[in-house]
Chains A and B, each alone.
Chain A
Amino acid sequence: MNATTSSAIAEPQNPLAHLSPEQLDELGREFDAIRDRVHADLGDRDRRYIESMIAMQRRLAVMSRVLLLASRYRPAKVAGTAALSAAKILENMEIGHNVLHGQWDWMNDPQINSSTWDWDTASTAEAWKHSHNYVHHTFTNILGKDKDLGYEIMRIDPRQKWHPVYLFQPAYNLLLMALFEWGVAFHDLDFEAIRKGHKSKAQVKRELAGIVEKAKSQVVKDYVAWPLLSGLAMAAVDAAFEVRKGRRRRGGLAGALRSAIAGGGASYRSTASANATANVVRNVWAYAIIFCGHFPDQTYTFSPEEVEDESRGGWYVRQLAGAANIEGSPLFHVASGNLGYQVEHHLFPDLPSTRYAEIAPQVKQICERYGLPYNSGPFGQQLGMVQRTILRLAFPGGAARPKPGPYRGEDHEAL
């Protein structure tokens, strides 16, 4: 399923074609300057943000787990599931993804640090840092090199060669949506590298063992330990209640125990299903945000030849043109780990996520001056485009979607 170029498809012009090497160097310096300015300004305010975000997420997680102890009562189950989903989303997106990017390493904190952090998902931190931080963020949108372009199982760009297996992609797209964390974990293994023998058996074994370890800890936590605790708690409540009633009835002790065990079992199942729901909600949300990052119509892809001898300025342009922002409220941006600022994130992957909104106007201004695109759109539109592409490219052929062209300021924002 290697991506190959085909001359039969009309290629969108490379967005940096109109820039001279000197202009690209100047552009590189301008972006470097934004980065340096933010770095010099990092301090207490940023630390307070991430610390309170982490504290809030953990309180939410505790609250949801406590609510779900009583998951056999419908309101508790609904509220607990919603809170747990939100906690898992924050933990993965605004906290985990960004900490693992090294966005908070400047604090020199032993815990909030890319080298010590672990997260509640199926990918090990180590494997994910390689496949995401390194492979995806370095070779962004280069066909055949950026393994996140279709995740090696989908045809997401018309320049990828068609294969009959893609006829099923609309179906396994839905499956991937629900099981996204598992898809990402196995994707981290890099099947192409394994097939070509670029990875030693020992390394593959170690990485598989890492996924198994992560799987075990999630299964134990979400499907054994917390449900069991909920079952025991409710059985204890029932037993206490029944024993009191039983004193008035005759010979009620055995019956009381029987019904307590039955009640406990029901609570166990109810909590386990709530936890499963929360995991799926988190997966669907992560899928939606991440697919909107690089697959909407506006984004450009690049062939390996196009990026030969790429300068730092050229690298910045590729990041800029290969990503697309999602417009939304501040709450939306927190829930998406500020990946609604995908463009800014790709330009500066290790700047704290909270700073992306602040530098967005400066990035837009550079785009305007250099005649470069600044890809952006509302969530519904972006997700719709992605789904349309997945459906269309399941079949042979397909052409690159028209691109919006250079960014021309707020007044001209149109697609």
Chain B
Amino acid sequence: MAERGATPQVPALRRKALRAVRSLFAPLLPDDYLELINPLWSTRELRGRIERIDPETPDAVTVLIRPGFEWPGHRPGQYLRIGVVVDGVHHWRAYSLTSEPERPDGCIGITPKLVDTGVVSPYLVRRARPGDVVRLGGVEGTFVLPDPPPEKVLFLSAGSGITPIVSMLRSLHRNGEVGDVVHVHSARTEDGVIFAGPLREVESAQPGYRLHLQITGREGRVAPGDLDRLCPDWRERRAFLSGPAEMLDAMSAHWEREGDGGLLETERFQPVIGGEPGEGEGGTVRFVKSRIEAECDSGTPILVGGEEAGAVLPFGCRMGICHTCVGMLCKGKVRDLRTGQIHGSEGETIRTCVNAPEGPIEIAL
């Protein structure tokens, strides 16, 4: 089964009314008809309509979305899984929410940066238009601002790593809780500073907020050794760190060595990369429901490997035509044995009879 949006918070009376007339529409739901009038009325999955798209830099935009039902809220710093249709196919990606949960208009924002080789970011940055409908999945993430917020904070961000930080900053700003915040942010070029405007705005409104903006193309990167100069009391502050992997690694090591690692929170965006494309490497399959693990070499379909390991799996034609054997991929990538193509994303339905694991995978069977 393909991934769907989060279950919306529908008023109880409305749910009851819909349930009462259900038998008139069986086997469909009243939803299936109401969605023809307004796709946002779905009570099965939360959807949202794009309200506005504001350019932040030449290759990043903020997409402001109005959820179909009351926004269940998020904690500043969390990310959202969002589903969009690109060239007929549903794709899901996670983006940090860049809006604060307390926005009075009930809208939420994400700020994707263009990845030229990607699928979803080119759509959101270049092609999406106000009025487009997107699917809203669950809110996740443990990189969050504590409640109540700490007195002394250090935000350390680089590039698009600023997205979860800006939600935290906006929340502090709106609630008048900016006590003592030092923000060290770096970007490669002046043009490429996402949220330059909002940051300056907070800076001028909040005396407790000190911003150091470093243009790395000109001044070089912020090194751990620079901290003593930029923020002499960094060891005493609750620090929130978000940026590329090298920066996270270097800074985390620095905190462990010289400071208090317990005061540091980090957010990593780099995906865990699977195997080398082309060759095919096989891997371990974990069948989530039957709790069986199976080893498959590069030429062994998941179905065959699973059966050899003793799993009872649905099967049909064993040639990729009947879709009886499908299971939902929970983790990892698979290789289509017919084409050699590597594919698979979380929540995708795959045919176990014609796909081999490409690295370790988990499947809901």
- Chain A residues with a Cβ under 8 A of chain B: 32, 36, 42-48, 55, 58-59, 62, 65, 101-102, 105-111, 113-116, 118-120, 129-130, 133-134, 137-138, 214, 217-218, 220-221, 224-226, 229, 312, 315, 349-350
Q: Which residues of B contact A220 (CB under 8 A)?
A: 23, 26
Question: Are B322 and A133 interface neighbours, CB within 8 A?
Answer: yes
CB of B345, distance to nearest CB on chain A (Å): 9
CB of B142, distance to nearest CB on chain A (Å): 27
Nearest-CB residue, chain A, relative to B350: A105
22 A-B contacts (beta carbon < 8 Å): A43-B88, A44-B87, A47-B88, A62-B33, A105-B323, A106-B89, A107-B88, A108-B89, A108-B91, A109-B2, A110-B2, A114-B326, A115-B2, A116-B2, A118-B28, A120-B28, A133-B317, A134-B322, A220-B26, A225-B23, A350-B321, A350-B322
Nearest-CB residue, chain B, relative to A110: B4
Q: Which residues of A contact B2 (CB under 8 A)?
A: 105, 108-110, 113, 115-116
- Rounded to whole angstroms, the CA-CA distance of A43 and B123 in the bound complex is 14
Q: Which residues of B contact A133 (CB under 8 A)?
A: 316-317, 321-324
User: A134: which of B88, B89, B316 is its contact (CB, 8 Å)?
Assistant: B316
How many residues of chain B have a CB within 8 Å of chain A? 34
User: A108: which of B27, B321, B338, B349 is its contact (CB, 8 Å)?
Assistant: B349
Q: Which B1-18 residues sit within 8 Å CB-CB of chain A? A: 1-5
User: A55: which of B36, B317, B338 is its contact (CB, 8 Å)?
Assistant: B36
Question: Are B27 and A109 interface neighbours, CB within 8 A?
Answer: no
Question: Are B348 and A108 interface neighbours, CB within 8 A?
Answer: yes
- Rounded to whole angstroms, the CA-CA distance of A280 and B218 in the bound complex is 77
By Cβ-Cβ distance, the 9 closest A-B pairs, closest first, are A102-B323, A47-B88, A110-B4, A134-B316, A118-B27, A217-B26, A108-B90, A133-B322, A138-B317
Question: Are A109 and B316 interface neighbours, CB within 8 A?
Answer: no
- Given A59-B36, A134-B317, also A110-B322 (CB < 8 A): no
Q: Which residues of B contact A134 (CB under 8 A)?
A: 316-317, 322, 324
CB of A209, distance to nearest CB on chain B (Å): 15
Which of B27, B45, B319, B326 is packed against the most chain A CB atoms within 10 Å? B27
Interface string of B23-63 (1 = CB under 8 A from A): 11111100011001000000011000000000000000000
CB of A98, distance to nearest CB on chain B (Å): 12
Q: Which residues of B contact A32 (CB under 8 A)?
A: 338
Q: Which residues of A contact B4 (CB under 8 A)?
A: 110-111
User: A110: which of B1, B25, B324 is its contact (CB, 8 Å)?
Assistant: B1
Question: Are A225 and B89 interface neighbours, CB within 8 A?
Answer: no
Q: Which residues of A contact B326 (CB under 8 A)?
A: 102, 105, 114-115
Nearest-CB residue, chain B, relative to A217: B26
Q: Which residues of A contact B23 (CB under 8 A)?
A: 217, 220-221, 224-225
- Rounded to whole angstroms, the CA-CA distance of A312 and B318 in the bound complex is 12
CB of B83, distance to nearest CB on chain A (Å): 9
Any A CB within 8 A of the CB of B85 = yes
Q: Which residues of B contact A118 (CB under 8 A)?
A: 27-28
Q: Which residues of A contact B338 (CB under 8 A)?
A: 32
Q: Which residues of A contact B339 (CB under 8 A)?
A: 36
Q: Is the interface of B mostly helix, strand, loop or mixed?
A: loop
Question: Are A58 and B24 interface neighbours, CB within 8 A?
Answer: no
Nearest-CB residue, chain B, relative to A226: B24
Q: Which residues of B contact A226 (CB under 8 A)?
A: 24
Question: Are A58 and B324 interface neighbours, CB within 8 A?
Answer: no
Nearest-CB residue, chain B, relative to A129: B324
Q: Which residues of B contact A137 (CB under 8 A)?
A: 317, 321-322
Question: Are B349 and A109 interface neighbours, CB within 8 A?
Answer: no
Interface string of B76-98 (1 = CB under 8 A from A): 00000000010111110000000
Q: Which residues of B contact A229 (CB under 8 A)?
A: 24
- Chain B residues with a Cβ under 8 A of chain A: 1-5, 23-28, 32-33, 36, 44-45, 85, 87-91, 316-317, 319, 321-324, 326, 338-339, 348-349
Question: Are A44 and B88 interface neighbours, CB within 8 A?
Answer: yes
Question: Are A116 and B1 interface neighbours, CB within 8 A?
Answer: yes
Q: Which residues of B contact A59 (CB under 8 A)?
A: 36
- Rounded to whole angstroms, the CA-CA distance of A119 and B339 in the bound complex is 33
20 other A-B residue contacts (CB within 8 Å) besides A108-B2, A118-B27, A120-B26: A36-B339, A44-B87, A47-B89, A55-B36, A58-B28, A58-B33, A105-B349, A107-B88, A108-B349, A110-B3, A110-B5, A115-B349, A116-B1, A116-B2, A134-B317, A138-B316, A138-B317, A225-B24, A349-B321, A350-B321
Nearest-CB residue, chain B, relative to A45: B88
CB of B240, distance to nearest CB on chain A (Å): 34
Q: Which residues of B contact A101 (CB under 8 A)?
A: 323
- Rounded to whole angstroms, the CA-CA distance of A32 and B339 in the bound complex is 10
- Given A115-B1, A134-B322, A138-B316, also A109-B90 (CB < 8 A): yes
- Rounded to whole angstroms, the CA-CA distance of A268 and B230 in the bound complex is 81
Nearest-CB residue, chain A, relative to B328: A115
- Rounded to whole angstroms, the CA-CA distance of A106 and B85 in the bound complex is 12
User: B316: which of A48, A65, A130, A225 is its contact (CB, 8 Å)?
Assistant: A130
CB of B23, distance to nearest CB on chain A (Å): 5
Q: Which residues of B contact A110 (CB under 8 A)?
A: 1-5, 45, 90
- Given A46-B88, A110-B90, A138-B317, also A350-B26 (CB < 8 A): no
- Rounded to whole angstroms, the CA-CA distance of A133 and B351 in the bound complex is 14
Q: Which residues of B contact A114 (CB under 8 A)?
A: 323, 326
Q: Which residues of A contact B348 (CB under 8 A)?
A: 108
- Rounded to whole angstroms, the CA-CA distance of A106 and B91 in the bound complex is 11
Nearest-CB residue, chain B, relative to A112: B2
- Rounded to whole angstroms, the CA-CA distance of A290 and B322 in the bound complex is 18
- Rounded to whole angstroms, the CA-CA distance of A268 and B90 in the bound complex is 44
CB of B109, distance to nearest CB on chain A (Å): 24
- Rounded to whole angstroms, the CA-CA distance of A65 and B25 in the bound complex is 11
Q: Which residues of B contact A42 (CB under 8 A)?
A: 88
Which of A62, A111, A129, A217 is packed against the most chain B CB atoms within 10 Å? A111
- Given A108-B89, A109-B2, also A58-B317 (CB < 8 A): no
Q: Which residues of A contact B5 (CB under 8 A)?
A: 110
- Rounded to whole angstroms, the CA-CA distance of A315 and B33 in the bound complex is 41
Q: Which residues of B contact A138 (CB under 8 A)?
A: 316-317, 319, 321-322
Q: Which residues of A contact B24 (CB under 8 A)?
A: 65, 221, 225-226, 229
- Rounded to whole angstroms, the CA-CA distance of A108 and B326 in the bound complex is 13
CB of B197, distance to nearest CB on chain A (Å): 35
- Rounded to whole angstroms, the CA-CA distance of A52 and B321 in the bound complex is 26
Question: Are B323 and A129 interface neighbours, CB within 8 A?
Answer: yes
User: A129: which of B33, B44, B91, B322 is its contact (CB, 8 Å)?
Assistant: B322
CB of B318, distance to nearest CB on chain A (Å): 8
- Rounded to whole angstroms, the CA-CA distance of A390 and B33 in the bound complex is 42
Question: Are A217 and B27 interface neighbours, CB within 8 A?
Answer: yes
Q: Which residues of A contact B85 (CB under 8 A)?
A: 47, 107
- Rounded to whole angstroms, the CA-CA distance of A108 and B90 in the bound complex is 5
Nearest-CB residue, chain A, relative to B325: A134
CB of A53, distance to nearest CB on chain B (Å): 13
Nearest-CB residue, chain B, relative to A40: B339
Q: Which residues of A contact B44 (CB under 8 A)?
A: 111
